Amino acid sequence: MNIEGRELSWTRQHQRIVDGVTLAVGPGETLGLIGPNGSGKSSLLHLMAGLRRPSGGRVYLDHEPIDGLSRRQVAQKVALVAQHSTTDADLRVEEVVRLGRIPHRGPLQGWTRSDVEHVEQALVQAGLVVLRHRRWHTLSGGERQRTQLARAMAQQPGVLLLDEPTNHLDIQHQLDLLTRVRALATSNIIALHDLNLAAMFCDRLVVLSEGQLVAQGAPEDVLTPALIWRIYGVDAAVERSPHHGKAQVHYLV
Amino acid sequence: MFPPKSALTLWAIFLAASLLLGVNIVLAASIGEMRIPFVITLQSIAHGLGVSDVSLDPIQQGIIWQYRMSRALIAAFSGAGLALCGVVLQALLRNALAEPYVLGVSAGASTGAVSVMLVGVGGGAIGVSAGAFLGALMAFAIVMFLASGVRRGVTRVILAGVAAAQLFNAITAWLVSTSANAEQSRSIMFWLLGSLGGVRWSDVELAAVVVSVGFVLCFYFARTMDAFAFGEDAAASLGVSVRGVRAVLLILTALITATLVSIVGAVGFVGLVIPHAARFLIGPGHVRLLPATALIGANFMVLSDIVSRVIVAQQTLPIGVVTALFGAPAFALILYRVRTEE
């Protein structure tokens, strides 16, 4: 599935949070969204998910404007894994994943074979089969993120939006989660802080600064010492990794 | 055993709770100041239901059917309705302490009802229930206004509710002290504490219609309430039109609360305690939770009414006093748990 934002702007309390951003992701492609804290990554993802109405510009799903679709139709196509989502409800992993079927079911419609299959498949994809009966509040950070990923997969989306999904995870779980996302057939947009992980797991990167798009392209073209200095004010050297061939950033302090 | 895994266990629990409710209602109808043999109670109920034409003492039959039975049914419907409001508000506001009484909605409804009864607001064009409804909506508006802006924390909504309750209780007290005579203020203060005294069959009909229709509408949104587990954005990204659903459900809870307040007064804590008990027994999914909450709420309220009539000899406590005796410690317990989890 194709998702595209054209000239997206979003203003909150007279402040431009997102400022004229245009980006597009094609089928099966993974786009990394990088930029400092407060550069508008989360807000941009919320606009792309149709959760906020842009003050300018439009989002298109397979070239159709997203505002022409109902909330439910959008939810059948676009799934979001938000930052620190948590709940007080005493839900089990399986029950959280089942929430992903809500957009596909009528209010009084029973549980169908297709619902079961998609939930099972999502549990497998997220490696949660053995954890399916665990309660949410007993899960570690990595397990929670995988549960949210599975819930998103159960929505059968064409587009998956992930807002800093690796935050607070140790390196093993960061790699595990991103590997799982890469293995999916969805078009993905991932907001990431770690430039090296972004280079490793994304086909293209978009760099945001103060709500504006300042660079985009293949990781090795975008991640230059000049850009890292301009955006983060950090000295860096970038080289091609002899191990995986992707751009590798070394911070010089 | 809990929460039940198989559908069979679940139906068994629902069936048992329904039977228990029937037993409790009959029990409530058999207890009172005038001793009436249990057989007569059963015969009177059968007569009232039109399934028996045994000739009975009209006084005894009247007491059982006109007085005690209507009272027991009102207790059941108000217990179910208030518990239902609690479970809906807790899901919608993602707040373990939300319920009409704590949020000041009951206080708002009381103020609305009192201003129609005493001051004649609306000039006779609106009834007590309608006045209560307007008061309840106003309280909701105030709470939502005070709690909006920042990210809705547990404490903020509750503080807003406390503020609203204080405000409306003050207005009510002011209205009562300036507009009512001694006799009126005594009966109004008693009613405000929550009282099942003096209910009529017409009240039962009103409560039955409002609570049943309210239940059906809430049940329609059961899965939508599940979607709120991770917050409003998460619900929206699951395809829920958050604003619309929130408006419908808040107005619905205001309507149920207002109707019940205008009949039995502001009974607290039922809406708080029962949903937690039901969640413990049945699990967090609203498709099961809503009927379980309504059934347990009805049982709880009928039993509370029995307790209120037998705990002090020759006297009936206001039912709100009894529910508060159970509810206040439960409130403290839940507050403590919420705090430790934060």
Q: Which of A135-149, B45-59, B157-171 has the lowest mean pLDDT?
A: B45-59
A69 part of contact set with chain B, CB < 8 Å: no
Give the whole-angstrom CA distance, residue A53 versus residue A8: 10
Give the whole-angstrom CA distance, residue B83 versus residue B66: 26
Probe site for chain A from B237, B248, B339 (most A CB atoms < 10 A): B237
**Cβ neighbour number for residue B129 with a 10 Å cutoff:** 22
Partner residue facing B227 (CB), from A70, A79, A102: A102
Are A32 and A204 in contact by the 8 Å Cβ rule? The answer is yes
Cβ distance of A96 and B229 shorter than 8 Å: yes
pLDDT exceeds 70 at position B16: yes
- In chain A, what percentage of residues exceed pLDDT 90? 89
ipTM associated with this complex = 0.91
The minimum CA-CA distance between A148 and chain B, rounded to whole Å, is: 10
The angle at the Cα of B267, spanning B266 to B269, to the nearest 5 degrees, equals: 130
**What proportions of chain A, in percent to the nearest 5, are helix, strand and coil?**
35, 30, 35
Q: Which of residues 155-214 of A touch B (CB under 8 A)?
A: 155
Q: Which residue of A has its CA nearest to B341?
A: A88
pLDDT exceeds 50 at position B21: yes
Q: What is the mean pLDDT of residues B245-257?
A: 91
Torsion, CA A179, CA A183, CA A185, CA A188, rounded to 10 = 10
Averaged pLDDT of chain B: 88
Residue B77 DSSP symbol:
H
Q: Among candidates A199, A242, A190, which has minimal Cα distance to A224?
A: A199
pLDDT tens track for A16-59: 999 999 999 999 999 999 999 999 999 999 999 999 999 999 99
Q: Which residues contact A135 (CB under 8 A, 6 or more apart)?
A: A90, A91, A92
Q: What is the mean pLDDT of residues B174-202?
A: 84
Per-residue confidence (pLDDT) for residue B4, from 0 to 100 = 66
**What proportions of chain B, in percent to the nearest 5, are helix, strand and coil?**
75, 0, 25
Q: What is the CA radius of gyration of chain A?
A: 18
Q: Which of A106-110, B77-81, B136-140, B259-263 has the lowest mean pLDDT?
A: A106-110
Q: Could you tell me how far CA A83 lies from the centroid of its own chain?
A: 10
Q: Among candidates B304, B293, B303, which has minimal Cα distance to B90?
A: B293
pLDDT category at A154 given cuts 50, 70, 90 is very high
Averaged pLDDT of chain A: 94
Per-residue confidence (pLDDT) for residue B25, from 0 to 100 = 96
Cβ distance of B279 and A80 shorter than 8 Å: no
Q: What is the mean pLDDT of residues B65-75?
A: 93
Per-residue confidence (pLDDT) for residue B1, from 0 to 100 = 45
Q: What is the mean pLDDT of residues A72-91?
A: 91
Q: Could you tell me how far CA B324 lies from the centroid of its own chain?
A: 13
Q: Could you tell me how far CA B38 lies from the centroid of its own chain?
A: 29
Per-residue confidence (pLDDT) for residue A131, from 0 to 100 = 95
A90 part of contact set with chain B, CB < 8 Å: yes
A137 part of contact set with chain B, CB < 8 Å: yes
Per-residue confidence (pLDDT) for residue B129, from 0 to 100 = 83
B338 part of contact set with chain A, CB < 8 Å: yes
Q: Could you tell me how far CA B189 lies from the centroid of its own chain?
A: 19
The angle at the Cα of B314, spanning B308 to B320, to the nearest 5 degrees, equals: 20
pLDDT exceeds 70 at position B340: no
Q: What is the mean pLDDT of residues A226-246?
A: 94
pLDDT exceeds 90 at position A110: no
Q: Which of residues 49-68 of A touch B (CB under 8 A)?
A: 49, 51
Q: Model-level pTM? A: 0.89
Per-residue confidence (pLDDT) for residue B37, from 0 to 100 = 87
Q: What is the mean pLDDT of residues B65-85?
A: 95
Cβ distance of B237 and A78 shorter than 8 Å: yes
